[in-house]
Amino acid sequence: MMTGVGSRRCHRGSFNFLSVALQILAHQAAPKIPRTCSRKAMKPHHRFVWLLAAAAATLACETTRALGSSSDAGSDLELSSLGRELLAAARQPEFFGWLKSVRRRIHECPELAFQEERTSGLVRSELDALGIEYKWPVAETGVVASIGSGAQPWFALRADMDALPIQELVEWEHKSKNDGKMHACGHDAHTTMLLGAARLLSSKKDSLKGTIKLVFQPGEEGSAGAYHMLREGALDQFRAIFGLHVSPYLETGSIGSRPGPMLAGAGGFLAKIQGIGGHAASPHVTIDPILAASSAITALQHIISRETDPLEARVISVGFIEGGQALNVIPEMVRFGGTFRSMTSDGLYSLQHRIKEVIELQAAVHQCNATVDFMEEKLRPYPATVNDETMYRHAKGVGEALLGESHVHLLPMTMGAEDFSFYSEKMKTAFFMIGTKNGTLGSDKGFHSPYFFLDEEVLPIGAALHAAVAISYLDGHAIEI
């Protein structure tokens, strides 16, 4: 790859020299004509020299313009060739069959956050078979593998491994064998695509202009696995990181993302309101926590409707409420909880402060006591996922070369959350959605549904996209070393 880069730089130098020379000629050849003198009034030899200078200046501009366009075209052609090569390799019957086998083995044995022992073991077994070195354990079950020279720049690709506490209701040969657990968010596919990228990259390890790190991360679903990977120093000195997430809302063969803020920051809260219980026929001798909780829940929505700029995206949603069970008894205590979200860290912290304040004050109005727990040790708030604009453009360009411009979409911001956001606070990041929607297969059910299903045609596409993004990043940054 460096030969091609060096060749382009040589041509660039030649064009630059010619351009500068022509501009000097244009400047020196131009006669000093008074401003009041028209070209018709010039002497014949002055007019000839003036025309020669104008032609030289025009040629200099065209040469400079051609230099940029030819360089860009050459780069695009090289990237397109790389993408086609990687995708063709991943779609070979033996390779594709291996991808499906890996994904199905993971899908059959889903494991919850920080319990991914079997999945981690499968990852390490496949890396061993490819001769790829790795560090393990990281954050309990995580794996970080390395391909390349070991020298900087270090570029990372990430996949999450954990499943969800959901009972799978899809009847097929490889249905989950673990009751109450399911890969209903596609993390089995994420892990498989990254292993596919590992296989593609291992065949090019001697030509890589730096080092590619493969991050197999535990505990994305609410457990902030990315935070724990960073806390253990597993991603120190990484320049940038790229991640993919399957999407049943995009057609298979397409991808999408956006520069800047993409996904919301999110946190959770649990409130307890303590009153004095009693018979429902005598509410005047009780202190009713249900009434206090109802007022608090209603007041929380005023934070969004009356305190938040209508053009700023924020959410507070109460997901559950628990009180008594008897029809004629006022309970002593009510519990309720939910989620709060914002596209900025400042917005998230502001919501957290007001949620606590509103619940406690509303409880006090009704003579109750309230406590609000944000469960930050067990349910660490996720910051917003923000794509670095340069990294976004890089991955977008790779996607367009691989899939075609019409299959790369600009997505709107959404209030979903992802712990990939922790990486975006430490390094340059790009996070893309990759389509799995296929109405014929039924792979159009939403995330976290017991009917979630996957179009496995996404597997070679994701593997090739991962590999192409990483290789082209190193090619583009190797000169900086």
Residue 33's pLDDT is 46
Of 124-138, 156-170, 333-347, 467-481, the range with the lowest mean pLDDT is: 467-481
Per-residue pLDDT averaged across 152-163, rounded? 98
Residue 377's pLDDT is 82
340 in Cβ contact with 352 (< 8 Å): yes
Query: Average per-residue pLDDT in the chain?
Result: 89
The answer to whether residue 325 scores a pLDDT higher than 90 is: yes
Residue 26's pLDDT is 46
Q: List the beta bridge partners of residue 202.
A: none
In this predicted model, what pLDDT tens digit does every residue of 214-228 receive, in sequence order? 999 999 999 999 999
The answer to whether residue 293 scores a pLDDT higher than 90 is: yes
The answer to whether residue 204 scores a pLDDT higher than 50 is: yes
Residue 368's pLDDT is 98
Residue 271's pLDDT is 98
The answer to whether residue 392 scores a pLDDT higher than 60 is: yes
Angle at 358 between CA 354 and CA 364, to 5 degrees: 150
The answer to whether residue 402 scores a pLDDT higher than 90 is: yes
In this predicted model, what pLDDT tens digit does every residue of 404-460 receive, in sequence order? 999 999 999 999 999 999 999 999 999 999 999 999 999 999 999 999 999 999 999
Torsion of CA 194, 116, 232, 343, to 10 degrees: 70
In this predicted model, what pLDDT tens digit does every residue of 327-341 receive, in sequence order? 999 999 999 999 999
Quote the pTM value: 0.82
Strand locations in 10-95, DSSP E? none
The answer to whether residue 467 scores a pLDDT higher than 70 is: yes
Residue 58's pLDDT is 53
Residue 22's pLDDT is 42
Per-residue pLDDT averaged across 113-130, rounded? 98
Residue bearing the bigger pLDDT, 2 or 113: 113
Residue 477's pLDDT is 87
Backbone angles phi, psi at 114, to 5 degrees: 65, 15
Torsion of CA 141, 448, 325, 268, to 10 degrees: 60
The answer to whether residue 32 scores a pLDDT higher than 60 is: no
Residue 378's pLDDT is 85
Residue entry with tokens 């996404």: 458
Strand locations in 139-264, DSSP E? 142-148, 154-160, 211-217, 240-251, 255-257, 260-263
pLDDT band per the 50, 70, 90 thresholds, residue 321:
very high
Residue bearing the bigger pLDDT, 53 or 477: 477
Per-residue pLDDT averaged across 202-208, rounded? 95
Backbone angles phi, psi at 408, to 5 degrees: -115, 115
Q: How many residues does the chain have?
A: 481
The answer to whether residue 299 scores a pLDDT higher than 60 is: yes
Q: List the beta bridge partners of residue 273.
A: 334, 370
Q: Could you tell me what percent of the chain has a pLDDT over 70? A: 84
Alpha carbons 288 and 290: distance in angstroms, whole number: 5
Helix axes 458-477, 187-202, angle to 10 degrees: 50
Per-residue pLDDT averaged across 319-330, rounded? 96
Peptide bond into 331 cis (omega under 30): no
Residue 80's pLDDT is 84
The answer to whether residue 68 scores a pLDDT higher than 50 is: no
Per-residue pLDDT averaged across 47-51, rounded? 51
Residue 379's pLDDT is 87
pLDDT band per the 50, 70, 90 thresholds, residue 77:
confident
pLDDT band per the 50, 70, 90 thresholds, residue 371:
very high
